[in-house]
Structure 1
């Protein structure tokens, strides 16, 4: 097959992932505690291109959020063509040059995993397991689990200014995605099925750090390090101990605080939202309804 179509000087202006800035209809980025996340979309049917030189950035994983995408990936002068359905994924090693012709529209959610994370993750694997240094190369392979996690993550990238709660949620999803990638494409074995729990001391410390979340920038990896465990182990142990993920637990505590204000004070819903560290009244009402089963105004009237 022939070489890729030469890039014009205008199209050569590209972003950090090698996408032509001119052709992108959507370009969003969100920095988590350990990973970088992107949403890249092209609406037109014209040919677009991706090209990046080798680097030490680690690995990139892309999840197709839309059906019927096709790309030709070049190695030297040879190319292979791949079709992507919704939920199809690819992995890309930044240490290798990447060149691809993208035919028609596409919509991808992408996650960048730095090399430093692989070093840390390998150290946290069970004793006796081989060291994981990267991910196997896959292109166009269906991965329903990764597709589900990507759909859960997508709304956070759409926020113009992510709130602390969103970043905590992104941390949780990042750990879940990273763990899945290590098992499916890195050769890591699944964790023991034995139920793990936090000690009373670690549980109290984790809850204390979460309650301080509204006044700081604490992350899941930071809490896990405080408890002397990996982020993935901490998440499993926290949920086994409390019945909730850290993000869910924090929201439940804020709803309990809001119940006190609704019952004992005449503060408005907007004032209670602010006092309980919700983003705004709309966010407060939505979360309260999810947890309590009824809107806060209705709940207040029922108590009186």
Structure 2
């Protein structure tokens, strides 16, 4: 999860950003989907180096402020519009893409290979996407991309806290949305069922047996003899939760039980239940229960059961 993707290194060379400012989240869904947070406090004074040509798309969402820029595709200038917070632009990396930014930069850039779009279409029994439809240099407001990006933002400061299941969840949802909304992918209307009883049981066993370890959606899908996309949809249909959400609840329930053992520190409980550290555990527990684990433990000491 914390290894740099080639796209991350390419963006560093293009934008001149130091390593620590561009953490990357990489997931596997037959292929990889990378997300890079790019931040620069000052505008650029020159045209950037061109991005490496690849059979892929770069999808950029502006996080804060506005960004006015000049754009060149294969050396030819392209008219652009100011990109405000929440605006999304697309770039076809089969072309040589260069920029000149006139405002500070704060964006999340997604790298979406064409082979990933093909895998998504194949999994959905749909026709493959030939090209994405967009106007170069012109942004669109996309609420789905914004909602999927929002929970990723804290992860760029703490990439080690990102579980594989969470990254898979974002990757699958984003890829499907892009293929459907901008690639015209149409799935065959059919009744979507859940997992068989043995599949649901096996998936939950794998996630619950070793809470301190990370597991990917691909591993769970393989154990259930399903494709990644089919498994993710069927698991949600059966449980009402994504695999990531189910595992997080399972970890929090286990941690809640361990809080009753005063011999264990919060840090020890966090490690035992698969959280990156005590802070990660505390934040997740507080969001779920409305009280910090330390405060809950102190409350129980003050008001013990009679």
**TM-score normalised by structure 2 residue count:** 0.81
Secondary structure in 2 aligned to 1:181?
Answer: helix
Q: Distance in 1 between matches of 2:276 and 2:51?
A: 41
Alignment gaps of 5+ in structure 1: 1-13
CA contact 2:123–2:229 (8 Å) conserved in 1: no
Task: Report if the CA contact (8 A) 2:212-2:272 is conserved.
Answer: no
CA gap 1:53/1:287 in 2 versus in 1, 3 angstroms: closer
Contact 2:70–2:78 (Cα < 8 Å) also in 1: yes
User: Shift of residue 193 of structure 1?
Assistant: 7.9
> Within the alignment, does 1:268 sit opposite 2:262 as a pair?
no
The residue that corresponds to 1:10 in the other structure is none
Conserved? CA contact 1:15–1:21, under 8 Å: no
CA drift at 1:183: 0.8
Contact 2:69 2:82 in 1 (8 A): yes
* Segment drifting more, 27-36 vs 141-150: 27-36
Superposition pairs for residues 16-165 of structure 1, below 5 Å?
16-17=10-11, 19-21=14-16, 26-33=21-28, 34-52=32-50, 55-75=53-73, 76-126=75-125, 129-138=126-135, 139-159=138-158, 161-163=159-161, 165=162
Render the CA deviation track for 1:234-274: whole Å, top value 9, x for unaligned: 32322221222212211221222223333366433333223
**Which of residues 160, 164, 168 is equivalent to 1:167?**
164
Cα distance in 2 between the residues matched to 1:272 and 1:233: 34
Change (3 A) 1:152 1:190: farther
CA 1:268–1:217 in structure 2 vs 1: closer, same or farther (change >3 Å)?
closer
Aligned residue among 199, 204, 208 for 2:201: 204
The answer to whether the 8 Å contact 1:58/1:114 transfers is: yes
> Are residues 196 and 253 of structure 1, via their aligned partners in 2, closer, same or farther at CA, if it must alter by over 3 Å?
same
Q: CA deviation at 1:136?
A: 2.4
TM-score by length of 1: 0.81
Pairing 1:180–2:177 present: yes
Q: What SS is found at the alignment partner of 1:74?
A: strand
CA contact (8 A) 1:30 1:37 kept: yes
Q: Which residue of 1 aligns with 2:3?
A: none
Distance in structure 2 (CA, Å) of the matches to 1:182 and 1:245: 20
Superposed counterparts of 1:2-21, under 5 Å: 15-17=9-11, 19-21=14-16
DSSP 3-state at the match of 2:14 = coil
State how far apart, in whole Å, the 1-side matches of 2:104 and 2:118 are.
Answer: 36
Root mean square deviation of aligned Cα:
2.9
Displacement of 1:44 in angstroms is: 1.3
Deviations 1:150-189 (A, max 9, x none): 1221111221x513x5332122111111111011111112
1:38–1:109 CA contact under 8 A, matched in 2: yes
Give the total of aligned pairs: 287
Deviation of 1:102 (Å)? 1.9
